[in-house]
């Protein structure tokens, strides 16, 4: 009996020891160097600026007479920071605001411009001092493509057709003459146009069937003649898992009229109790990660619907609003959606960008909500001060994927477990750029455990590997106006490269980008 007990005890010991060993076994990542892999459109790294809270006013735009250094009223520090990101496109003027915006209010002498009430966001007075010229000139300075959201909800077909002519027509016409009167000779040639925003909600509370017809009517009168290849029209898309919406649009709008269908999905744990931006607990963090991971499932299922009607993938999926959404920072206007940005946001950014990269065959554009002072911002300002958030740093590290060719990969992720639930701890994407440099971006969302991966890169004939990491001591860490550089990317060396195999130890809640050539 004693002998049997000894054997059982040793067996238990052996089993638990081997479990530990198995748990520490590195995760094998397999790259498939597929010649037909898609290019990761640079537009996946797009941004969004709405007339909401302090995004435009007190954010981008401080006015021509401000003591803050500016270029035509737009802060130079913001322009430089966004240029550094290689910002590919900027969506404007909303969001919900777009369906209340009449573009003609924002042109001509500033003193003559009418004021309106921003009914969606805080009920503040909008003086229209930042308008079409300011926005399109800003995009030119940034080297970014403008993406204009047209007013369908409270606007009209003629109004939107006129906006297209005002911005794009080279010859003589009522709208191009007006543009010249307002100081701009050459058209800006705007390619990307949204036809309404969230038409199922703030854009007019329409049914999908009704919106599909309205879309066709608007699209008919928007002339694409002045843009090489025509203008690129984007339909207001589904919220989260509304697959019916995507189905109705794909079924009822001719492909010749439709270049992109949008999708909005925010990382929000509960719309009536979104939780704090900084002082969140582990359960809230886990729920945020669950919501963030949902993006992968949503894209997969919306794409499956699109595939039914468009197997050649001629219509793109455009995730033109995504990001973390929490309760506003204490003491700030609830209608202004101002929130801080922690390592949780770095995880959301790292994960979503990997998801978009890995769906690059259908996802051709995405816009983080929003660029400055609103929701998951890359930049926060306080009067003359400006800080870059952890999300900014992730975007900057990942920019190497812009217009690079995807390297599809597969692996079985270890799990991040909280109580009796679990999620994949790792998400990874890889690409090879025009200079033959391979980049691997890896995010470990596990709040406690490091995870080790091995990647056989023999086929890539790599000689040198270098890396950067974004990590911090606690998930709640963030950059503040007092400590603006608490979280910045650091040189990363915790990898081995032997016989063509990379072994990388990814610390808990960290983002790593490796460059191999």
Is 206 a residue that touches ligand AHR (CB under 6 A)?
A: no
Is 50 a residue that touches ligand AHR (CB under 6 A)?
A: yes
Is 197 a residue that touches ligand AHR (CB under 6 A)?
A: yes
Q: How far is the CB of 225 from ligand AHR (least distance, A)?
A: 30
Is 291 a residue that touches ligand AHR (CB under 6 A)?
A: no
Q: Count the site residues for ligand AHR by CB under 6 A.
A: 10
Return the half-sphere exposure (C-beta side, CA atoms, 13 A cut-off) of residue 302. 29
- Judged by beta carbon, residue 328 or residue 445, the one nearer ligand AHR is 328
- Answer for the pair 265, 294: CB distance below 8 angstroms, yes or no: yes
Give me the catalytic one of 25, 198, 314, 329: 198
DSSP 73: T
Q: How far is the CB of 68 from ligand AHR (least distance, A)?
A: 25
- Judged by beta carbon, residue 42 or residue 51, the one nearer ligand AHR is 51
Residue 313: CB atoms within 10 Å: 14
Is 369 a residue that touches ligand AHR (CB under 6 A)?
A: yes
- Judged by beta carbon, residue 95 or residue 414, the one nearer ligand AHR is 95
Q: How far is the CB of 266 from ligand AHR (least distance, A)?
A: 7
The two structure tokens encoding residue 8: 């059982």
Tell me whether the omega of the peptide bond preceding residue 191 falls within 30 degrees of 0, making it cis.
no
Contact partners, residue 215, CB within 8 Å, separation at least 6: 152, 195, 196, 235, 236, 249, 253, 257, 258
Residue from 145, 198, 226, 345 in contact with ligand AHR (CB under 6 A): 198
Return the half-sphere exposure (C-beta side, CA atoms, 13 A cut-off) of residue 462. 23
198 is catalytic: yes
Binding part of the chain for ligand AHR, among 23-31, 94-102, 131-139, 300-308 by CB under 6 A, reads 94-102
Is 94 a residue that touches ligand AHR (CB under 6 A)?
A: yes
Is 95 a residue that touches ligand AHR (CB under 6 A)?
A: yes
Tell me whether the omega of the peptide bond preceding residue 497 falls within 30 degrees of 0, making it cis.
no
Distance CA 444, CA 460 (A): 24
Residues of span 325-364 touching ligand AHR by CB under 6 A: none
Residue listed under structure tokens 């390592």 = 343
Return the half-sphere exposure (C-beta side, CA atoms, 13 A cut-off) of residue 374. 27
- Judged by beta carbon, residue 366 or residue 369, the one nearer ligand AHR is 369
297 is catalytic: no
Binding part of the chain for ligand AHR, among 88-96, 246-254, 403-411, 499-507 by CB under 6 A, reads 88-96
- In sequence order, what DSSP letters do the residues of 224-288 get, joined into one string? -TTSTT--EEEEEEEETT-HHHHHHHHHHS-GGG-SEEEEEEEE-S-TT----SSS--HHHHHHH
- In three-state secondary structure terms, 495 is strand
One character per residue 10-49, x = contact with ligand AHR (rule: CB under 6 A):
----------------------------------------
One character per residue 293-332, x = contact with ligand AHR (rule: CB under 6 A):
----------------------------x-----------
Which parts of this chain interact with ligand AHR (CB under 6 A)?
A: 50, 94-96, 197-198, 321, 369-370, 375
């Amino acid at each position: 009996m004693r002998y049997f007990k000894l054997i059982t005890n040793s067996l238990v010991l052996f089993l638990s020891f081997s479990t530990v060993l198995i748990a520490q076994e590195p995760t094998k990542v397999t790259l498939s160097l597929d010649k037909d892999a898609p290019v990761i459109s640079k537009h996946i790294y797009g941004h969004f600026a709405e007339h909401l809270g302090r995004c435009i006013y007190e954010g981008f735009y401080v006015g021509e007479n401000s003591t803050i250094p500016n270029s035509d009223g737009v802060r130079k520090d913001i322009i430089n920071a966004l240029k550094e990101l290689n910002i590919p496109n900027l969506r404007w003027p909303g969001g919900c605001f777009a369906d209340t915006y009449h573009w003609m209010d924002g042109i001509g002498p500033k003193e003559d411009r009418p004021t309106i009430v921003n009914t969606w966001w805080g009920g503040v007075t909008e003086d229209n001092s930042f308008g079409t010229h300011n926005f399109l000139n800003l995009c030119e300075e940034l080297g970014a493509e403008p993406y204009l959201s047209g007013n369908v909800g409270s606007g009209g077909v003629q109004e939107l057709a006129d906006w297209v002519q005002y911005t794009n027509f080279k010859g003589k016409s009522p709208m191009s003459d007006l543009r010249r009167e307002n100081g701009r000779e050459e058209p800006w040639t705007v390619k990307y146009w949204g036809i309404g925003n969230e038409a199922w909600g703030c854009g007019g509370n329409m049914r999908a069937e009704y919106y599909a017809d309205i879309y066709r009517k608007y699209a008919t009168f928007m002339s694409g003649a002045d843009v090489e290849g025509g203008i690129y029209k984007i339909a207001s898309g589904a919220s989260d898992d509304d697959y019916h919406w995507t189905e109705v649009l794909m079924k009822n709008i001719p492909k010749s009229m439709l270049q992109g269908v949008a999708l909005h999905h925010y990382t929000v744990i509960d719309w009536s109790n979104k939780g704090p931006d900084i002082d969140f607990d582990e359960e809230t963090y886990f729920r945020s990660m669950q919501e963030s991971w949902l993006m992968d499932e949503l894209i997969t299922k919306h794409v499956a619907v699109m595939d039914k009607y468009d197997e050649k993938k001629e219509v793109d999926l455009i995730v033109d609003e995504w990001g973390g959404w929490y309760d506003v920072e204490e003491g700030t206007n609830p209608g202004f959606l101002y929130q801080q940005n922690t390592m949780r946001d770095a995880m959301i950014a790292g994960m979503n960008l990997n998801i978009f990269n890995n769906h690059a065959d259908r996802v051709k554009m995405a816009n983080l909500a929003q660029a400055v002072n609103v929701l998951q911002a890359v930049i926060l300002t306080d009067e003359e001060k400006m800080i870059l958030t952890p999300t900014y740093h992730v975007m900057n590290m990942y920019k190497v994927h812009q217009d690079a060719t995807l390297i599809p990969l597969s692996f079985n992720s270890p799990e991040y477990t909280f109580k009796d639930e679990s999620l994949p701890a790792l998400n990874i994407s890889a690409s090879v750029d025009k200079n033959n440099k391979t980049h691997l971006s890896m995010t470990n969302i596990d709040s406690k455990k490091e995870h080790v991966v091995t990647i056989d890169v023999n086929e890539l004939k790599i000689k040198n590997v270098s890396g950067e990491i974004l990590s911090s001591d606690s998930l709640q860490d963030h950059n503040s106006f007092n400590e603006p550089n608490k979280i910045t990317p650091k040189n990363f060396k915790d990898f081995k490269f032997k016989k063509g195999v990379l072994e990388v130890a990814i610390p808990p809640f960290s983002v790593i980008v490796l460059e191999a050539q």
